[in-house]
Amino acid sequence: MKSIKKTLKPRQKYFTKGKRLIFVKQFEDFKGKLPKNPSIIRDRLNPRLCDFSYLMTRSFRRTMADFVNLTNKKKGPLTILDLGCGYEPFKKLFPKNSNYIGVDMSLNSYADIIADNHQLPFKNNTFDIVIASEVLEHSSNEYQFIEELTRVSKNKALVFISLPFIFPEHGQPYDFQRLTKYKLKELFKNHKIISLKESNNIVSSVFVFINLFFRIILGSSALLSPIYIFNNLLALAAEKIKPPNNAYLETALKSCPIGYSLIVEIKK
């Protein structure tokens, strides 16, 4: 708790609930005891062929691996901010002596702080590392979100972002937008984009759409696993398609991914 309070701006109003600091009203009621090992942690860290969103999660996980390798080059204990942290699936990827702070708007999370990403309670230039995984699409004002992220980050802080693109509505009613890679470049034009990747090509998206259709219509039934596996194998095969040396076809192939992931170095 002391390590968290050191990062906060002075003279702010909040109340505590257990070990959490509450700065805003949460967007949903607490549903009871938090799970000790929620399945989403495995989904994010070790995506499997039987997962409906395997292709997108697999791509995001690879970018996260590159991100962790870059953060390992930073010296000393790291101060890490996980925005929209949920169950903090990436926490175990970082050194145990890191000051890892999770922020979310839901008490049904592992968040240390309940706060709005558009008005973060932290001091300027506080964090070495920032994670915003599948959260930017839930921002009602992406410019203010990035402004706050930048404010609380140190110069040369590393930022990991992942977000869906061609993907169903989720987290209703707090699903506000889908951003193209060109909008992402615009948002971070004053910083250094180290990596910006599409999760997959337009052909493999067709097979992922089939998975998404069954997921939406029939829910999370384990009986759907064979369908997901079959479609994911076809999607992986489609990923090997290489267009001829044609600029239009190369652009078209990348024009309809399920999502994007990027690594940014903050410049101040």
Residue 48 dihedral angles phi and psi, to the nearest 5°: -120, 160
For residues 43 and 21, give the distance between their C-alpha atoms in angstroms, rounded to a whole number. 28
* Peptide bond before residue 173 is cis, with ω within 30 degrees of 0: yes
* Tens of pLDDT, residues 68-106: 999 999 988 999 999 999 999 999 999 999 999 999 999
Res 19 pLDDT > 80: yes
Per-residue confidence band for 241, with pLDDT thresholds at 50, 70 and 90: confident
List the one residue out of 265, 258, 264 whose CA is nearest residue 60.
258
Structural contact between residues 127 and 103, judged by C-beta atoms closer than 8 angstroms: no
Q: What is the pLDDT at residue 29?
A: 67
* Tens of pLDDT, residues 160-209: 999 999 999 998 888 999 999 999 999 999 999 999 999 999 999 999 99
Q: Where are the beta strands (DSSP E) in 87-174?
A: 99-104, 113-114, 127-133, 153-164
Cα–Cα distance list, 211 to 35, 95, 225 (Å): 27, 36, 10
Res 27 pLDDT > 90: no
Per-residue confidence band for 2, with pLDDT thresholds at 50, 70 and 90: low
Res 237 pLDDT > 80: yes
Res 244 pLDDT > 90: no
